Amino acid sequence: MMTDVRFDRYESQAAVAQLDAFLPAYEEIYAEPPYLEGPRDIAEFIDRYQVHTRRPGMRLIIARDKEEVVGFTYGYFLATETRWWHNLQDVTLPDAYMREDGHRSFVIIELAVRMAWRRRGVAASLHAHLLDSVDAERVTLTVRPEAEADPARAAYLAWGYRKIGTSHPWVDAPLYDCMVRELSAG
């Protein structure tokens, strides 16, 4: 169980300065299957993260045990011109469902916990802190379909998410299960 884990929140530009704090945890977590990320993947993540910090509503939560980063999560509001819903390969959603206004949907881009801190409630607390006071109709995320991702998928299902389709977000990307959870706000 968590004892001394604290959760620090950073928004938009304040999150930029935190990259160096959580990047070693990112590298450790994403070296594991099914990701097996190497230096090129890490460099691409750094570039994407810099763009993500400029998105509306961007927030980062870092879980720390004393000063050691044990996990992190971040997300932001989908923009009106998002391609998020258009990346789905196996379902056609109604236009009204895919319409975004900049506050309708909050997307979780990353939610990751280092191995030694898993199954202690850290991921659930990161998730709760990230969504605390998010004023959106729904939250969405993607998860890899491989067996190694089953604990994450099980957690998302327990937290009220449902799969709505298979996402292929960019040309060289693997396939992901796109999940959605309706929120009471909106």
Which residue has tokens 């959605």?
A: 180
Each residue of 18-30: pLDDT tens digit? 999 999 999 999 9
**What order do you get walking across the sheet with 59-65 strand by strand?**
5-11, 59-65, 68-77, 105-113, 138-143, 176-182, 162-167
Each residue of 132-152: pLDDT tens digit? 999 999 999 999 988 776 888
Task: Determine if the peptide bond prior to 39 is cis (ω within 30°).
Answer: no
**C-alpha dist (Å) from residue 8 to 66, 70, 91, 169:** 12, 12, 37, 29
Instruction: Walk me through the domains of the chain, giving residue ranges and CATH numbers.
Output: 5-182 (3.40.630.30)
Which element (helix H / strand E) includes 143? strand 138-143
Each residue of 87-104: pLDDT tens digit? 999 999 999 999 999 999
What distance in Å separates the CA atoms of residue 36 and residue 27, rounded to the nearest whole number? 10
Candidates 142, 130, 133, 136; CA nearest to 167 is 142
Q: Is 122 helix (H, G, I), strand (E, B) or coil?
A: helix
Each residue of 64-123: pLDDT tens digit? 999 999 999 999 999 999 999 999 999 999 999 999 999 999 999 999 999 999 999 999
What distance in Å separates the CA atoms of residue 173 and residue 167, rounded to the nearest whole number? 9
In terms of pTM, does the model score above 0.85?
yes
